[in-house]
Structure 1
Amino acid sequence: MNRFLVPTSALMWGLQIAFLSPSLALILSTLYGATTAEIGWVLAIYNVSGFIASLVVPAWADRHLDYLRPMLLSGALTLLLVLVLAVVTTLPLVTIVLVVVGGPAGVGISMLFAHLRHAGARPSQIVDTRAIVSVAWVAGPPMATLIIGWFGPRAILLAIGLVALANIATTMLMIRGHRAALSADDPSTPAPADEELPLGKIGVVLVTAAFVLLQATNATSMSFLAVYVPQTVGIDVVWAGVALGVAAGLEVPALMIVGRLTERYSSLGLIVTSCLAGIVYYLGVAAVTGPFLLIALQVLNAWCFAGIGGVGLTLFQQMIPRPGLSTGLYMNTRRVGAVLSGPLIVLGGATVLGQRATFFACALLTLVGLLIIGAAGRHSTSRAPAESAAPAR
Structure 2
Amino acid sequence: MSLLSRAATPIASRETSDLVVGALLRTGPGGIGTSALRPAGGHTATAESDTPEPTRREPEIYCPEALRDDVALGDEVNERLVAWAERIGIYPGRVEEVRGANFGRLVMLTHPDSDDPDRLTAAGKCALAEWATDDHYCDDETQGSDLTLLGARLGVANAVVDPAHLPPRYAADLERAVGRDPVLRALRGAFEHLARYADIEQVNRLRQEIASLFVGYDTEGSWRASERVPPVWEYLVNRQDNSFLPCMALVDVVGGYRLPAAEYYDPRVRRAVSFAASASVIVNDLYSTAKESDASGLVDFNLPMVIAVEENCSTEEAVRRSVAVHDDLVRTFEAESAFLSATGSPRLGRFLAAVWAWLGGNREWHRGTARYSGA
Normalized against structure 1, the TM-score is what? 0.31
Normalized against structure 2, the TM-score is what? 0.32
- Higher helix fraction (1 or 2): 1
